[in-house]
Amino acid sequence: MAALPAVISPEERDALMKARSDVLALTEAADKMLNRCIAGPVAGSELDSCLLKNPDGWWLMYSHSSLYVAIDHLTALVALWAAPAIPHSAGYTVIRGAAEGAARACWLVDPSLTSRERIARGIVEHAYALDCMRRVEGDSEQIRIRRRAFEMTLLRAGFAVDGRVCENEARPRIATLMHQLLSAPIASGSAGTVGGLAYALLSGFAHAEPWATLMDMQRVDSRVAVMTLNPLLQVQVLRLAMRLLVLGVCWTVGLAGFDVEAWKQEAVPLFRGF
């Protein structure tokens, strides 16, 4: 039996179209600002001092790519919403990818870190990447060469990795980052924070967990029910992912020596939907 067509109220349609417009504006602004940070950081800024250096610049390589993962996923969401029939659940999976990319970048560009702590986080991220490559490709000669180069780079720079920890910096789970970055408490349920609840919802829908899919079921007849579109919920969690992207770009702007407040004035109204 075919799924129910997405029946959207005028209010829901307006919310989707406003969010779509904000996503397009935010991703364009973020792309422009990130390119500026890489192409011409302020001389002497932390970002400028680490460009093209290893391991100093690993945090920048991974934070930059993670922010672009977020931008890419948000762009894909806009494409989904432009389809003749809007998918009922795929949007949550795409929003989850955006939130995860932005959250990981925020961990790397956190302005409270010292330069050495930030370098250590970049090293941890690189060690994790090498371990994942080895699991995917096997213990090939290319992987062994990369590992030896990694170890020699750390030795020359005066760093060491114990397992996946460098100078007390360990790679946190995304769920932990979501709790920390979107830390407003919520009284109901057991998620604890806005970020915890958002990530639980996004993961539930993305993994087709029964508890999540049952939240938006609509009966077709006495025997069959299907998942229906919930535009307002998608927009709510989308704006949280956009907030994380804004935060990651904001902190990158500061590390590049540019005006953080000017970026906030441009970007904050977009994720809030003003």
> Which run of H or of E encompasses 156?
helix 141-157
Q: Is residue 118 in some structural domain? A: no
Provide the pLDDT for residue 10.
83
Provide the pLDDT for residue 5.
47
Q: Is residue 122 in some structural domain? A: no
The range of the structural domain enclosing residue 82 comes to 10-108+173-272
The band of 274, judged by pLDDT with boundaries at 50, 70 and 90, is: low
Q: Is residue 250 in some structural domain? A: yes
Task: Please check whether residue 50 is in contact with residue 60, taking contact to mean a CB–CB distance below 8 angstroms.
Answer: yes
pLDDT digits (tens, 9 = 90+) for 83-110: 777 888 889 999 999 999 999 999 999 9
Check pLDDT > 50 for residue 151: yes
Lowest mean pLDDT among 18-27, 200-209, 224-233: 224-233
- Quickly count helices (H) and strands (E) in the chain: 11, 4
Q: Is residue 159 in some structural domain? A: no
Orientation of helix 58-81 relative to helix 231-255, angle to 10° = 150
Task: Please check whether residue 197 is in contact with residue 191, taking contact to mean a CB–CB distance below 8 angstroms.
Answer: yes
The band of 81, judged by pLDDT with boundaries at 50, 70 and 90, is: confident
Mean model confidence pLDDT for the chain: 90
**CA-CA-CA-CA torsion sign (62, 64, 67, 68):** negative
Task: Please check whether residue 217 is in contact with residue 28, taking contact to mean a CB–CB distance below 8 angstroms.
Answer: no
Q: Is residue 67 in some structural domain? A: yes
Q: Is residue 150 in some structural domain? A: no
The band of 2, judged by pLDDT with boundaries at 50, 70 and 90, is: very low
Nearest to 31 by CA among 269, 266, 189, 205: 266
Check pLDDT > 70 for residue 215: yes
CA distance 81 to 146: 41
Provide the pLDDT for residue 22.
93
Check pLDDT > 60 for residue 174: yes
CA distance 246 to 103: 10
The DSSP result for 121-133, as a single string, is HHHHHHHHHHHHH
Provide the pLDDT for residue 1.
37
The band of 15, judged by pLDDT with boundaries at 50, 70 and 90, is: confident
CA distance 154 to 160: 6
Provide the pLDDT for residue 55.
96
The type of residue at 193 is T
Domain count, the chain: 1
Q: Is residue 152 in some structural domain? A: no
Q: Is residue 162 in some structural domain? A: no
The band of 3, judged by pLDDT with boundaries at 50, 70 and 90, is: very low
Provide the pLDDT for residue 138.
87
